[in-house]
Structures are given as C-alpha cells and as structure tokens.
Amino acid sequence: MADINIESTGSTSATGSVVQLPINLFTRSTNDAIPQSTYLIPASWRRFQLSELINKVLQNNSDNGKKPIPFEFLINGQVLRGSLENWSKKNRGNDEETTIDIEYVRSTLPPQEVGRIEVEDWVSGLSLSRKGYTLLSSYLSHLQILPLSSASTSSTALYTLPLPTSLGATSCTWVSPQSQEKDILLAAGGIDRLTHVFSIPSLSPEDNIQLPKEIYTLHGHTQPISTIISSKSGKEIISGSWDGLLNLYTLPNSEPNEHQISSEPLNFLTGQGNKKKRKLEKENPREPIEGLMDNDSTGEGGWRRIPEINFKGHLGRIGGSVWDKFDQEKIWSAGWDGSVRGWDLNTGINSMIRQGPFDKSALCIDQFTANGTLVTGNMDRTICLWDTRQATSLISLTLQTSSPIPSIKTHPTSSFTLASATYSGIIQIWDIRSPKNSLFSVSNVNRKERKVTKNGKVLGERLLALDWDGEVLIAGGEDGEVGIWNATGA
C-alpha cells in the first residue's frame, strides 16, 4: 500500500486520527499511467488533491519542464463531484475498508466563447472540415465560407454562393479533400429536393477575381434534402431526404458537356415563381453565379446528374448520415423510423439494421473515430449510442436531455466525448463514462430580445447545426447567429 507525502487535513475518527480510505487509481491512457498500487487517501480529498497526487507521481513540475495536468475522476461511471468522504457515505455507508476503484482522465475544460457571427436567416448547416474556415448553409438559400480568424458580429464572408431557389438550404458539406487547394468543391442540400455542387477557385483572397460557379445539380429525390456527406476522396456524394431514400452520386473526373436528365418544372413547389419570391429578389438582388443557361426551369445551375445507386429501406424520413470512419465502402444512416442502418456502397445492400423503438425518431448521426460506436440525437430528447460490433446489440447507452437533438458531433480522437445541440438552444458536452449529466452546458436562451429580420421573421432559440473539430466548436440555428467557442476534449 503506497504512502502519500502530500500534506492535507481531513475528517477525524472517534480516536482523533485522520480518516483515510483505500483507493486504486487507474487510467486507460498510457501517457498518464502511474504504478498500480492501493493508496491510502484522506477522506476529505477532492478532485484537486487527487490531481495533485497523480501529477506528483508523474513528476509533472517545472523542474522537469512539465506543466501539471488537471484530471477528472470517475467512480462506477460517475464523475466525482465532491469529497471522497461524501461519496463513500452516500454509496457505501460506514465502509472505510473496501478499496474504491477510481478511473482518472484528463479534464475537459469549459468552453470559452470567442466570437459570434450574425447572418440574415436561420443557420441550417455548419462544417469545420477545413481548418480556419466555417462553411455555413442557411434558409436564405445560400452557402457562405467564413474565416474563423475574423469571428465577430460583422464578419465578412470569403464567398457567398446563392442557390438557384428561394426555398432555403438545409445542409452543407465540403466535397474536395483538404489537400486540394484549387478548384475546391462544396455542396448544399435544399428544400427544392436538389443537391447543388459549387466550385470555388481557392480559399486565397487573391483568387477571388475568378467567379465561383454551380458545377453540378444532383437530382433524384422527391422531397427536401435532410443530409449530405462526401467521401474522403471527394469523388462521391451521398444525399438523404424526407422521401426515405439515400442517393449515391459519383462525380466525373472532368466537367461534362451534357446533362444526364432533362429539366423539370419547379414552379409547382411552394416559393417558386410566386409573388413572395419576386418581392424578396427585388429587395435583395443576388450577385450572378456562373453556371449553365440552358433555358431550364431555374434559369441557372450546373450539369444535371442522376444517382448511381438508390438505397431503400427506411420507413420514414432520413434524419442523418455518416461515412464509416474505418471502411470507405460503407455508410450509416439514421431515420425517423427509429432505425440505424449500414449500407454497402458497391451493391446498395442494407447490410446491417439496428431497429430501436419506432417512436425514437433519429434526427442526426455520427460515429466515434476511436472505436466505431455510432451515436444518434433523437426527437424523444435522448442521445443514443449503438454498438454495431455485437450482432444482437441495439442501444448500448442512453443520455437523457431536456429537448430534441438535431445535431451531434463526436470528438475527433476521443472514444468518450461528444457535443450536442438542442431545440432549447443549449449546447452540451458529454463524457459517456459519466452519462447522468453533461460535463458542460452553454445556453443561448437568456437574451432579453429576439431579433427580427427585415422580412419580418422573428428569430427563435432552436439550434439546428453544430460542428466540433476538437479545438473549436460552432453552433447556429433560428437565432441567426453562429456562436464560436474554444472547446477541447480528450
């Protein structure tokens, strides 16, 4: 049993001696592991003293050129919030002899807000896949690329790419891989049932003299697009829709010279060719985007393409999709029918089905990079983890929230940390080893006044989109703003 040389005061027993509890400290991190031993610890110790002990054993001090590391401590999956004595009395009564197994992990620091960017309408999609930039889609029917370095209430967009529809953009994604610096592709899904793929010359302001253009318009859905994702190579795009279908599109190596499908009239869609559209366009004239003027129903756009494969199986709307982090020939989707499904891209076969309760409508999905576990945000105010490695497993863990979850993002390297956005305007960071409560919550609902746009729309509190690259977290929704936080996790 190890001796402790850190001075401390604590509770005393009836004989006047300091009450000590035997503990076993362990971690799953090889960099932070200390020798396995049973330590006798003063019962009054809390997180700070326990962190101090571990840093002393690891020799994290100025003499060795190392900074002390703050740690969190978990007992039976719950974060230690008070003293060891309080935990022991609550969970073990007067037992002071049985060893307490305590796992320690590096602390996740509270998110620190660093900026806000105002936009003209609801934010529907966000992406941080290109470091230093935010890709944003909105119900104003456009895509914007915003430099994070200029985060403020009056940030100027590097590019603003209007869609050839006034119905609104619902989602967005970078298409080209990060290594590609010229002729970068990005895409937006729309309420007009189409996916619009744009090309920009580069992210360098010096190249702005060249006009961006919509290069492809992807057809094949009969209802609004709810999710779009692209492969690592940037050669494939998957779109999911309210029609319950997932469509796979393969982009050509060079720009084609003909359409794959004839134009179709869009004037039967609400918002197309009506007085409201003409009024909005008169009040807010758009800058022209280079495209194809072939006298089709939109008057502009890219080469019309049809899907290579349709994935059919969901019995309701598609909520979200994610490319498998380990197998680029596989994707996952989550739907309003309460199911999570795996799809083989070569054959279109629904290779795996995990059917949860039918009333557990899934609004979004992501996957932990470290272990492959899937996580969904649901309409019934829960976050669910799905372990697909077991043939008979369904939901392996459920996190309770106070509002539906439209957007969720796992930490890029951790197996345990994720961030969620809710309809109640709250961002939460979770450690799934302590599932009863989130580590941190950030709320946007305490503002005294709601903004009103020049079109008379009152902006609400619901968050609709979130992204997290492990260092920066962004979120936006009905409030017409993109909040930016420094948020690390491990």
Question: Which of 203-217, 321-335, 442-456 is the least confident region?
Answer: 442-456
The pLDDT of residue 447 is 54
Amino acid 268: pLDDT: 42
The answer on pLDDT for 10 being more than 80 is: no
pLDDT at position 453: 59
* Long-range contacts, 74-78 (Cβ 8 Å, 24+): 74/102, 74/103, 74/104, 74/105, 74/433, 74/434, 75/100, 75/101, 75/102, 75/103, 77/433, 77/434, 77/435, 78/434, 78/436
Q: Which pLDDT score, from 0 to 100, does residue 288 have? A: 46
Q: Is pLDDT above 60 for 232?
A: yes
pLDDT category at 333 given cuts 50, 70, 90 is: very high
pLDDT at position 44 is: 92
Tens digits of residue pLDDT in 127-161: 999 998 999 999 999 999 998 875 555 568 889 99
* Percentage of residues in the chain having pLDDT higher than 90: 50
In contact, 330 and 370? CB cutoff 8 Å:
no
| 273: pLDDT strictly greater than 70 | no
Higher pLDDT, 489 or 462: 462
Which pLDDT score, from 0 to 100, does residue 289 have? 45
- What domains lie within the chain, and their CATH numbers? 20-106 (3.10.20.90), 112-486 (2.130.10.10)
Q: Judge contact between 191 and 163, C-beta under 8 A.
A: no
Taken in order 251, 256, 258, 263, the sign of the CA dihedral is positive
Quick: pLDDT tens for 413-429: 888 899 999 999 999 99
Rounded to an integer, the average pLDDT of 443-452 is: 59
| pLDDT for residue 4 is more than 80 | no
Q: How far is CA 442 from CA 113, 392, 401, in A?
A: 9, 36, 13
Which range (2-6, 34-38, 57-61) has the least confidence? 2-6
Q: Quick one: pLDDT at residue 416?
A: 85
Q: What is the pLDDT of residue 110?
A: 85
467-483: per-residue pLDDT in tens? Answer: 999 899 999 999 888 99
**438 phi and psi angles, rounded to 5 deg:** -70, 155
Reported as a single tens digit per residue, the pLDDT across 458-467 is 567 899 999 9
Q: Are 338 and 331 in contact (CB under 8 A)?
A: no
When pLDDT is cut at 50, 70 and 90, the band that residue 262 belongs to is confident
pLDDT of residue 490 exceeding 70: no
**How far apart, in whole angstroms, are the C-alpha atoms of residue 337 and residue 29?**
38
**Between 351 and 392, whose confidence is greater?**
351
What does the alpha-carbon distance between residue 235 and residue 323 come to, in Å, rounded to a whole number? 13
Q: Is-contact 129 178, C-beta < 8 A?
A: yes
Residue of 156, 155, 160 lying closest to 136 (CA atoms):
160
In order of 5, 23, 454, the CA distances from 1 in angstroms are 13, 10, 70
Report the pLDDT averaged over residues 279-296: 49
Predicted confidence (pLDDT) per residue in 106-115, tens digit: 887 888 888 8
Q: What is the pLDDT of residues 41-96, one digit of tens each?
A: 999 999 999 999 999 999 998 888 888 988 888 888 778 888 999 998 888 887 88
